[in-house]
Amino acid sequence: MQFFTSALALVALLSPVIAAPVLEERAATTCGSNSYTAAQVNSASQKAYSYYQAGTDADDYPHTYNNYEGFSFPVSGPYLEFPILKSGVYTGGSPGADRVIITTSGKQAGAITHTGASGNNFVGCSGTS
pLDDT per residue as tens digits for the range 3-28: 433 444 444 444 444 334 444 556 89
pLDDT at residue 2, as a whole number: 46
Q: Are 42 and 67 in contact (CB under 8 A)?
A: no
Looking at the chain, the whole-number percentage of residues with pLDDT higher than 70 is 80
Catalytic-residue membership of 114? yes
In sequence order, which residues have a C-beta less than 8 Å from that of residue 74 and are 6 or more positions away?
A: 109, 110
Q: Quick count: other Cβ atoms within 10 Å of Cβ 37?
A: 11
Catalytic: which of 24, 25, 69, 81?
81
Query: Is 81 annotated in the active site?
Result: yes
| 97 CB-side CA count, 13 A | 19
Q: How many CB atoms lie within 10 A of CB 50?
A: 14
Identify the band that residue 43 occupies on the pLDDT scale cut at 50, 70 and 90: very high
Catalytic residue chosen out of the listed positions 24, 25, 63, 69: 63
